[in-house]
Amino acid sequence: MLSADAPIGVMDAGFGGYTVIRELQKLLPCENIVFFGDGKNQPYGNRSREEILCMTRQCLRFLQEKKVKAVAVACNTISTLIEEYQGEFPFRIFSIVRAGSDEVIALRPRQAVLFSTVFTAQSGCYQRYIREGRPEVRVIPQGSPWLARLIEDGDFDREKIEKELRQTLGEAARSHPDADTLILGCTHFPLVADLIRQLYPQFTRMVNPAFVQAGQIKEYLEENHALRAGGEGSLHIYTTSDCETYSRMAEWVGLKKPELVELAPAPRMPEPSL
């Protein structure tokens, strides 16, 4: 039996997860939310599977100690490995890759560019989920090694961000001029969606998986009679990097004011095997 008053946990490699919290706060304003953002170990998207899994388990244990009733893995990179860790925790874990894929399946584009970290693009996870629902949709994966990191720096250096976009997304846009749908397959990317729209107007439709993920969590809590009945929901932010940047970005993204922004211990890397 889930406790309605328990918080919803949200986790990400960095503050990109704020794009999911924004949707949760709109949809479920009474819910308390605990966020864990591992900015220190970012970018996860350039790490190995073993490193990601080891750090993910530590992030989830942190949320487990906060007695969460469900967790949104806002990070696409971490979500690609959900089958590996979801059975180890006593709460339901929601994958943002599943949410984004469900939306693509509903939209049925002919071709969609998946713009994500290199890890997510190479994992084939979006491609697999979408193929299961709509085999006719062509998914063109395009990874960016540095965009999430550049955004996480928090100063929105337009020159650097634009250069990275041109070297990565620019390539996919040029080679696939008929692709009109763009999957924002990294939670940091909706934060530069306006710039992407300006540079690449061919993408007339952008899929931000955060909407669907928030909806799936609402549905699950409803079905389990675990929605918080009333009152104003709170937001507690734990970061492994800089609290000042995390507070400033929370305001910039348009989140309700957090009651707490606190430094948390960073997950440790796996021991090197001898």
Give the catalytic positions in this structure: 75, 186
Residue nearest to ligand DGL (CB): 45
Cα–Cα distances in angstroms (integers) from residue 176 to residues 104, 124, 148, in the given order: 18, 19, 23
Binding residues for substrate: 44-45, 76-77, 187-188
What SS3 class is residue 270?
Answer: coil
DSSP H/E element including 152: helix 147-152
In the complex with ligand DGL, the residue whose CB is nearer, 97 or 179, is: 97
In the complex with ligand DGL, the residue whose CB is nearer, 13 or 68, is: 13
The secondary structure of residue 175, as a DSSP letter, is: H
For 231-266, the DSSP string reads SPPPEEEEESS-HHHHHHHHHHHTPPPPSEEEE-PP
In the complex with ligand DGL, the residue whose CB is nearer, 32 or 120, is: 120
In the complex with ligand DGL, the residue whose CB is nearer, 99 or 137, is: 99
CB of 224 to ligand DGL, least distance (A): 26
Nearest-angstrom CA–CA distance, 270 and 146: 23
CB of 62 to ligand DGL, least distance (A): 17
CB of 28 to ligand DGL, least distance (A): 21
Interaction site with ligand DGL (CB under 6 A): 12-14, 16, 42-45, 75-77, 117, 120, 148, 186-188
Number of H helices, E strands in the chain: 12, 10
CB of 257 to ligand DGL, least distance (A): 23
Give me the residues paired with residue 261 across strands: 237
